[in-house]
């Protein structure tokens, strides 16, 4: 990896609204601000910056609820090519061709500057609406991205 990942812990509970969606961040959550970048040449950033929680208990790359994916990227996963499937918590889920751009922070807020790109080997997991209740409420960066 050609960069160091320094994730500030959220100092206190607060709400942020990327793309107009209120998201509650809890105290002491390790949060990175990211933007998805499609597997294209050149890579095309998709949508707005949003917070993702670093979860070392997640053995996969990146998981995002489809409701948030749709709002933050303007894309519908059901209309995208699925590259792989993975079994997560006993549920077979689709992987889609995106990497993660980690954004630099200034005064705790994301900037447009990219600190680095996390390459996903199999893509990101988009959790379908009917399964969202079984998974984390926020996007999660798993250990395979790191």
Q: Where are the domains of the chain?
A: 14-145
Q: Are residues 100 and 34 in contact, defined by beta-carbon separation less than 8 angstroms?
A: yes
Q: What's the CATH code, domain 14-145?
A: 2.40.70
- In terms of Cβ atoms closer than 10 Å to its own Cβ (0-12, 13-18, 19+), residue 138 is buried
pLDDT at 23: 87
State the chain's mean pLDDT as an integer: 84
Quick one: tokens of 102? 């980690």
| pLDDT number for residue 146 | 65
Residues in a beta bridge with 109: 106
Report the predicted TM-score, pTM, of the whole model to 2 decimal places.
Answer: 0.84
For the residues of 68-103, what is the DSSP string, one character each?
A: HHHHHHS--GGGSPEEEEEEETTEEEEEESEEEEEE
Confirm if 7 and 32 have CB atoms less than 8 A apart.
Answer: yes
Per-residue pLDDT for 139 more than 80? yes
CB 144 within 8 A of CB 121: yes
Q: What are 105-133's pLDDT values in tens digits?
A: 887 788 888 888 888 888 999 999 999 99
């Amino acid at each position: 990896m050609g960069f160091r990942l320094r994730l500030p812990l959220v100092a206190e509970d607060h709400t942020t609204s990327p793309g107009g969606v209120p998201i509650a961040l809890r105290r002491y959550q390790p949060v990175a601000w990211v933007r998805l970048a499609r597997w294209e040449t050149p890579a095309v950033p998709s949508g707005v910056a949003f917070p993702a929680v670093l979860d070392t208990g997640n053995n996969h790359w990146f998981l995002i609820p489809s409701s948030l994916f749709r709002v933050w990227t303007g894309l519908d996963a059901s209309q995208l090519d699925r590259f792989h499937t993975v079994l997560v918590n006993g549920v077979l889920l689709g992987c889609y061709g995106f990497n993660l751009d980690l954004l630099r922070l200034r005064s705790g807020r994301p900037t447009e500057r990219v600190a680095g790109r996390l390459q996903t080997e199999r893509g990101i997991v988009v959790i379908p609406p009917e399964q969202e209740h079984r998974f984390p409420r926020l996007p999660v960066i798993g250990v395979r991205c790191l």
